[in-house]
Amino acid sequence: MKVRYYERVGLLAQPDRTASGYRDYAEDAAARLLFIARARRMGLSCEQVTTLLPVWSSTSCGATQERVIRLVEDKQAEVADRIAELQQLAAQLDDVRARLEAESPPSACRADLSCCVPESTGGPVAIELSRRPTGSPA
Protein backbone atom coordinates (compact mmCIF):
# COMPACT_ATOMS: atom_id res chain seq x y z
CA MET A 1 0.00 0.00 0.00
CA LYS A 2 1.10 3.51 -0.73
CA VAL A 3 0.17 5.24 2.51
CA ARG A 4 2.36 8.28 1.89
CA TYR A 5 0.94 8.68 -1.59
CA TYR A 6 -2.61 8.60 -0.19
CA GLU A 7 -1.56 11.26 2.29
CA ARG A 8 -0.05 13.39 -0.49
CA VAL A 9 -3.19 13.24 -2.66
CA GLY A 10 -5.48 13.94 0.30
CA LEU A 11 -7.18 10.57 0.71
CA LEU A 12 -5.61 10.08 4.11
CA ALA A 13 -4.91 12.82 6.64
CA GLN A 14 -1.35 13.57 7.66
CA PRO A 15 -0.82 11.74 10.96
CA ASP A 16 0.59 13.16 14.13
CA ARG A 17 4.26 12.47 14.80
CA THR A 18 5.84 10.92 17.82
CA ALA A 19 8.68 12.72 19.58
CA SER A 20 11.11 10.61 17.56
CA GLY A 21 9.43 11.56 14.27
CA TYR A 22 7.52 8.37 13.54
CA ARG A 23 4.05 8.64 12.06
CA ASP A 24 1.35 7.99 14.67
CA TYR A 25 -1.91 7.00 12.99
CA ALA A 26 -5.22 7.15 14.81
CA GLU A 27 -7.51 4.08 14.84
CA ASP A 28 -9.89 5.61 12.29
CA ALA A 29 -7.00 5.97 9.83
CA ALA A 30 -6.69 2.18 9.61
CA ALA A 31 -10.38 1.81 8.75
CA ARG A 32 -10.14 4.62 6.20
CA LEU A 33 -7.03 3.04 4.66
CA LEU A 34 -8.79 -0.32 4.39
CA PHE A 35 -11.74 1.39 2.65
CA ILE A 36 -9.37 3.18 0.24
CA ALA A 37 -7.43 -0.01 -0.51
CA ARG A 38 -10.59 -1.98 -1.25
CA ALA A 39 -11.94 0.74 -3.52
CA ARG A 40 -8.63 0.97 -5.39
CA ARG A 41 -8.53 -2.83 -5.86
CA MET A 42 -11.97 -2.54 -7.50
CA GLY A 43 -10.32 -0.28 -10.06
CA LEU A 44 -11.65 3.01 -8.75
CA SER A 45 -9.40 6.00 -9.28
CA CYS A 46 -8.19 8.17 -6.43
CA GLU A 47 -10.61 10.85 -7.66
CA GLN A 48 -13.52 8.42 -7.46
CA VAL A 49 -12.46 7.31 -3.99
CA THR A 50 -12.35 10.98 -2.99
CA THR A 51 -16.01 11.33 -3.95
CA LEU A 52 -16.86 8.29 -1.83
CA LEU A 53 -15.13 9.40 1.35
CA PRO A 54 -17.71 11.97 2.47
CA VAL A 55 -20.52 9.48 1.85
CA TRP A 56 -18.61 6.67 3.59
CA SER A 57 -17.90 8.80 6.66
CA SER A 58 -21.60 9.56 7.08
CA THR A 59 -23.81 7.22 9.04
CA SER A 60 -25.78 6.04 6.01
CA CYS A 61 -24.38 2.76 4.79
CA GLY A 62 -27.18 2.58 2.21
CA ALA A 63 -26.10 5.86 0.61
CA THR A 64 -22.52 4.66 0.44
CA GLN A 65 -23.57 1.36 -1.08
CA GLU A 66 -25.69 3.13 -3.73
CA ARG A 67 -22.77 5.40 -4.64
CA VAL A 68 -20.38 2.44 -4.88
CA ILE A 69 -22.85 0.60 -7.12
CA ARG A 70 -22.99 3.62 -9.47
CA LEU A 71 -19.18 3.83 -9.55
CA VAL A 72 -18.90 0.10 -10.23
CA GLU A 73 -21.41 0.40 -13.08
CA ASP A 74 -19.40 3.31 -14.52
CA LYS A 75 -16.20 1.27 -14.23
CA GLN A 76 -17.88 -1.72 -15.94
CA ALA A 77 -18.91 0.54 -18.84
CA GLU A 78 -15.33 1.83 -19.13
CA VAL A 79 -14.02 -1.75 -19.18
CA ALA A 80 -16.55 -2.78 -21.85
CA ASP A 81 -15.54 0.19 -24.03
CA ARG A 82 -11.87 -0.66 -23.56
CA ILE A 83 -12.48 -4.30 -24.47
CA ALA A 84 -14.30 -3.26 -27.66
CA GLU A 85 -11.41 -0.95 -28.61
CA LEU A 86 -8.84 -3.66 -27.97
CA GLN A 87 -10.85 -6.22 -29.97
CA GLN A 88 -10.98 -3.78 -32.89
CA LEU A 89 -7.24 -3.22 -32.63
CA ALA A 90 -6.61 -6.97 -32.46
CA ALA A 91 -8.65 -7.48 -35.65
CA GLN A 92 -6.66 -4.78 -37.44
CA LEU A 93 -3.39 -6.34 -36.30
CA ASP A 94 -4.57 -9.76 -37.53
CA ASP A 95 -5.33 -8.19 -40.92
CA VAL A 96 -1.92 -6.53 -41.16
CA ARG A 97 -0.13 -9.72 -40.11
CA ALA A 98 -2.10 -11.78 -42.68
CA ARG A 99 -1.24 -9.32 -45.46
CA LEU A 100 2.43 -9.31 -44.50
CA GLU A 101 2.53 -13.12 -44.42
CA ALA A 102 0.75 -13.35 -47.80
CA GLU A 103 3.43 -11.33 -49.62
CA SER A 104 7.07 -12.09 -50.10
CA PRO A 105 9.23 -9.26 -48.81
CA PRO A 106 10.95 -7.17 -51.49
CA SER A 107 14.72 -7.25 -51.78
CA ALA A 108 14.90 -3.74 -50.27
CA CYS A 109 12.45 -1.77 -48.18
CA ARG A 110 10.26 0.76 -49.95
CA ALA A 111 10.77 4.42 -49.06
CA ASP A 112 7.35 4.59 -47.37
CA LEU A 113 7.95 1.28 -45.51
CA SER A 114 4.60 -0.03 -46.81
CA CYS A 115 6.36 -3.35 -47.33
CA CYS A 116 6.80 -3.66 -43.57
CA VAL A 117 3.82 -1.68 -42.29
CA PRO A 118 0.97 -1.88 -44.81
CA GLU A 119 -2.06 0.38 -44.63
CA SER A 120 -4.64 -0.99 -42.23
CA THR A 121 -8.10 -1.74 -43.59
CA GLY A 122 -9.91 -0.20 -40.61
CA GLY A 123 -9.86 3.31 -39.34
CA PRO A 124 -7.61 4.31 -36.51
CA VAL A 125 -8.41 2.74 -33.18
CA ALA A 126 -8.08 5.20 -30.34
CA ILE A 127 -6.47 3.23 -27.57
CA GLU A 128 -5.92 5.21 -24.40
CA LEU A 129 -2.77 3.92 -22.84
CA SER A 130 -3.14 4.18 -19.12
CA ARG A 131 -0.27 6.27 -17.84
CA ARG A 132 0.20 6.70 -14.18
CA PRO A 133 0.93 10.23 -13.15
CA THR A 134 4.36 10.77 -11.71
CA GLY A 135 4.45 9.60 -8.14
CA SER A 136 1.27 7.50 -8.29
CA PRO A 137 1.29 3.99 -6.84
CA ALA A 138 1.77 0.91 -8.94
At 39-91, the pLDDT tens digits run 888 888 898 888 888 777 666 778 778 888 888 899 899 999 999 999 988 98
- Say whether pLDDT at 136 is over 60: no
What DSSP element (H or E) covers 23? strand 23-24
Going by their DSSP bridges, the two strands 16-17 and 23-24 should be labelled as antiparallel
Q: Which of 64-68, 101-105, 114-118 has the lowest mean pLDDT?
A: 114-118
Which domains, ranges and CATH numbers included, belong to the chain? 3-71 (1.10.1660.10)
Helix axis angle, 46-56 relative to 61-102, nearest 10°?
160
Per residue in 5-21, pLDDT tens? 998 998 988 888 999 98
DSSP type of residue 106: P
